[in-house]
Amino acid sequence: MSRQSTRAFSLIELLVVIGIIAMLVGIATPAFMAINRNSQLTQAGQTLIEEFTVARQTALTKNCVIEVRFYAFASANDNVRRYRAVQSFIVDDNGNATAVGKARYLPGPVIMDADGEISTLLDTQNAKTNWSDDDPQIPLPGVGTAYDVRFFQYRPDGSTGLSPIGRQWFVTLHNVNSANNPGQLPNNYYVIQVNPLNGIVQAYRP
């Protein structure tokens, strides 16, 4: 009767296998992280496009002015106020503002760049500071009222209150850790442009 021998892995063989696994993980991790960042950026872009589209459609169907507001605030991992959320409001003839829906937050590390050259919609001339009893500064969950606001408006005919002369209107999104010089786009970004005459939205990706 023959005995069937079994052979175990040697220590060197195990170390070689572990080394190969570690190498594969090292190669795959950056690729996975890049895919995740791209996915978050795409989701953020779609969030703004949906908000702008719904705001314009609401202005048309309800024959009213819709104000789209961008919120800048600090996060748990970043003490700098950056534009990370958007919300739309119906504004009546008396200046009363009523939220159309809840504030929508951009995913993870994605922000709207506050540089007026690559995000003209966030230019300081579009800052909102005139809070009143009819239009109070409402607290945001987890933020309170420690935020800054930029805005633009859709009119009842679907156009905007933005000047159509001599300027294009857009906002640029990117990862907060994407290094870019003032006035220059980072390597990976998402630009959303609003036509001031008809309010139609267009998106651009590199």
Mean pLDDT for each consecutive 10-residue tract of the chain (206 residues)?
Answer: 59 72 62 65 96 97 97 90 96 94 93 93 90 94 94 97 93 86 83 96 92
How many domains is the chain partitioned into structurally? 1
**Residue showing tokens 């709207």:** 112
Residue 4 has a pLDDT of: 57
196 near 163, Cβ under 8 Å? Answer: yes
CATH number of the domain to which 167 belongs: 3.55.40.10
Task: Identify whether 77 is part of a domain.
Answer: yes
Q: How far apart are CA 121 and CA 47, in angstroms?
A: 16
Task: Identify whether 6 is part of a domain.
Answer: no
Residue 174 has a pLDDT of: 95
Residue 30 has a pLDDT of: 57
Question: Can you give the residue range of the structural domain that contains 106?
Answer: 12-204
Task: Identify whether 4 is part of a domain.
Answer: no
Query: pTM to 2 decimals?
Result: 0.83
Task: Identify whether 159 is part of a domain.
Answer: yes
Provide the 10 A C-beta neighbour count for residue 83.
Answer: 23
Task: Identify whether 137 is part of a domain.
Answer: yes
Helix H, strand E, coil C: the string for 70-115 is EEEEEECCEEEEEEEEEEEEEECCCCCEEECCCCEECCCCEEECCC
Task: Identify whether 119 is part of a domain.
Answer: yes
Residue 193 has a pLDDT of: 97
CB within 8 Å of 163: residues ≥ 6 apart: 196
